[in-house]
């Protein structure tokens, strides 16, 4: 993944780690999974994500 500073590269990788069930560790910037969940005015007790894969045929 390449891009300029602040373009979301780290957030993308952390989202993938979260969706694949990686527990918060040295691989993630946050110390706990709960720190990945945005805390709006109404507190949420859970979060989810989805990844869709598509086969790309390069001719």
**Residue ranges in the chain whose pLDDT is less than 70:** 22-49
Q: Which long-range contacts (CB under 8 A, 24 or more apart) does 13-20 make?
A: 15/49, 16/51, 18/47, 18/49, 19/49, 19/50, 19/51, 20/51
Instruction: Say what the pLDDT of residue 2 is.
Output: 78
Query: Tell me, what's the pLDDT at 7?
Result: 85
Q: Which of 42, 25, 45, 26 is nearest to 34 (CA)?
A: 45
Tell me, what's the pLDDT at 9? 84
| C-beta separation of 43 from 35 below 8 A | no
């Amino acid at each position: 993944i390449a891009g300029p500073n602040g373009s979301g590269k780290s957030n993308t990788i952390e989202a993938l780690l979260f969706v694949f069930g990686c527990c918060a560790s040295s691989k993630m910037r946050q110390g706990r999974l709960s720190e990945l969940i945005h805390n709006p005015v109404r507190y949420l007790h859970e979060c989810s994500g989805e990844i869709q894969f598509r086969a790309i045929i390069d001719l």
